[in-house]
Structure 1
Amino acid sequence: MTANWRGGRKPKIDKAIHRYVFRLTDAENARFLSLYEQSGLDNKAKFIVSLLFERKINSVIIDKGAIDYCTKLSQFFSQFRAIGVNYNQIVKILHTNFGDKKTVFYIGKLEAQTIELANICREILVLSKKFEGEYLIKNEHL
């Protein structure tokens, strides 16, 4: 024997020093033990580490701003559909209750308001595409 030998195990190069503790219910523990036995591994710690790092874990990032934006846009779409229903009802009422001159006059006014609404919708569409292009698509890659 040499004089430098102290006995014992060789020291590990990268020691596992970080410890995590968690608790399981009886049902969860039974499921855990079943999975552990099926894995064929001889060490529960190795089994847990393999579960953590060998399986893909999906992360979900919830962006409140994007959710609010989509909610407001959905509400606007609902209002827009309601306007379309009202528009059809108004045109039907005009044709059944008024003469041709008054109907043409009121439909002309309605048409002007419809053009204004269409312009607002175009602006919303442009802003939505800009928002998606600059904000939502960039955040998909995070």
Structure 2
Amino acid sequence: MNKRVAVFRKEHFNAAHRLYNRQWDDATNFRVFGKCSNPHYHGHNYELEVRVTGEPQADTGFVMDMKVLSDLIQQYVIEHFDHKNLNLDIPEFKDINPTAENIAVVIYNLLRPHVSEKQELRIRLYETPRNFVEYPA
């Protein structure tokens, strides 16, 4: 019998960014990214869901201690991203566009080393209440 269970932790952070391609002129960036290419940046109140899936441990009954998961998210995501300009302050976005898709991948890569290889990790990131991405898909 498969006893795999998914546990979730929700967090939020606020960050600014600008979507643009350095190789394009402003008109092309605006055509592709619209208002999101504003040279003065814009912000979002991101909602983050982190899902860890695995078998509950025999001794604790936990898939993962939720306090440990919360602390990992605080240390590696919230402290890293909250109230930052993603384009200017976050080294991971030096050479990649900070789209929701890329932010989710970066968050996954920041957390993956700290979650057991036996457990599946999935990131869901809401940029707005209606727009969200999930990684891995």
Q: Which has the higher contact order (CA 8 A, sep 6+)?
A: 2
Greater helix proportion: 1
Alignment TM-score, normalising by the size of structure 1:
0.22
Alignment TM-score, normalising by the size of structure 2:
0.22
Larger-Rg structure: 1
